[in-house]
Amino acid sequence: MTFKLHRRRFLTGAAIASTSALAGCFDPLLSNDAQVRGVLEKANDLTYRAQRLLLGSDNLAREFAASEIRQPMRPNGLTDPQDEDYRTLAANGFTDYRLKIDGAVERPMSFSLEQLRNMPSRTQITRHDCVEGWSCIAKWTGTPLGGVLDQVGVTSAARYAVFSCFDTLENGFAGPIKYYESIDLHDARHPQTILAYGMNDQALPVSNGAPLRVRVERQLGYKMAKYISAITLTDRLDSFGEGGGGYWEDRGYEWFAGI
């Protein structure tokens, strides 16, 4: 209890630091001001390190009983990618889908859904919290990301796993801007971090990220990339998107979205 109170107070402090920067003078979605970004990044870094410390390394997110499943698992964000490569795969029931894993790995590999389904699986009933303020409880089945990483052999240089997604969120001057996300290797190897291909005992529906989405149970919904096409291991995030580590992070959200 004391610990909880302390934790909450501490995090509120960090949150206030970042909101006051936000409220004071700019709209994070429009601003490109480097100084402002700097303030945000510092606050973010503080929250990240504080939460990492307080969450502990291997604590599990709460798991629920089947009777507690709360539906619908409201689809959010992009729910029906129109990208041609994605549509082609979907039309074929994703039989030609391959998850590519590359970057700082000893053996770049790609995996079919069949191969992923034949790897050790884990099922967990967890709550999904969206930053918009709603939550659902659903049952997820997938293979732990840690085991997949072991197969490709992550090199010691790697610090992050970056998820590339099929879905285009906007059309920028330089071309389509696709959803992407990243987590550190700590979260990547957390026992509840799974590459999910099943939801509520069914194949993962398109609206919730078919054929493969990641579950990162101790963080907010936007960290849980849907429609994953590739996972890249890297020591730095600045060569992806705008460098913030994710589509929403590039637009002002915090990279570490612990709950």
Question: Which residue of 44, 47, 126, 208 would you call a contact of ligand MTE, by CB under 6 A?
Answer: 208
142 contacts ligand MTE (rule: CB under 6 A): no
77 DSSP 8-state letter: S
221 contacts Mo ion (rule: CB under 5 A): yes
77 contacts ligand MTE (rule: CB under 6 A): yes
Q: Which does 162 bind (CB under 5 to 8 A by kind): Mo ion, ligand MTE, none?
A: none
224 contacts ligand MTE (rule: CB under 6 A): yes
Which SS3 state, helix, strand or coil, does residue 40 take?
helix
Q: Which does 208 bind (CB under 5 to 8 A by kind): Mo ion, ligand MTE, none?
A: ligand MTE
Between 76 and 121, CB nearer to ligand MTE: 76
204 contacts ligand MTE (rule: CB under 6 A): no
Closest residue to Mo ion: CB criterion: 130
Alpha-carbon distances, residue 163 vs 5, 85, 100, 226, 227 (angstroms): 34, 17, 10, 9, 9
Compute the distance between CA of residue 110 and CA of residue 94 in angstroms, rounded to an integer.
14
Q: Which does 197 bind (CB under 5 to 8 A by kind): ligand MTE, Mo ion, none?
A: none
Question: Are 154 and 186 contacting, i.e. CB atoms less than 8 angstroms apart?
Answer: no
Compute the distance between CA of residue 99 and CA of residue 112 in angstroms, rounded to an integer.
6
Q: Which does 165 bind (CB under 5 to 8 A by kind): ligand MTE, Mo ion, none?
A: ligand MTE
Residues 86-145 that bind Mo ion (CB under 5 A): 130
Query: Nearest-CA neighbor of 60 among 194, 199, 251?
Result: 194
251 DSSP 8-state letter: G
x-or-dash pattern for ligand MTE, window 34-73, by CB under 6 A?
Answer: ---------------------------------------x
- Strand 194-199 to strand 99-103: parallel, antiparallel, or no bridges (unpaired)? unpaired
Which SS3 state, helix, strand or coil, does residue 65 take?
coil
222 contacts Mo ion (rule: CB under 5 A): yes
Of 56-64, 118-126, 219-227, 236-244, the window that binds ligand MTE (rule: CB under 6 A) is 219-227
Single-letter code of the amino acid located at 126: T
Q: Is 103 left (phi over 0), alpha (psi -120 to 50) or beta?
A: left
Q: What are the φ and ψ backbone dihedral angles of 228, each rounded to 5 degrees?
A: -70, 130
Closest residue to ligand MTE: CB criterion: 77
Q: How far is the CB of 15 from ligand MTE (least distance, A)?
A: 19
Compute the distance between CA of residue 73 and CA of residue 239 in angstroms, rounded to an integer.
33
Question: Are 214 and 195 contacting, i.e. CB atoms less than 8 angstroms apart?
Answer: yes
Footprint on this chain of Mo ion (rule: CB under 5 A): 130, 221-222
Footprint on this chain of ligand MTE (rule: CB under 6 A): 73-78, 130, 165, 167, 179, 208-209, 221-222, 224-227
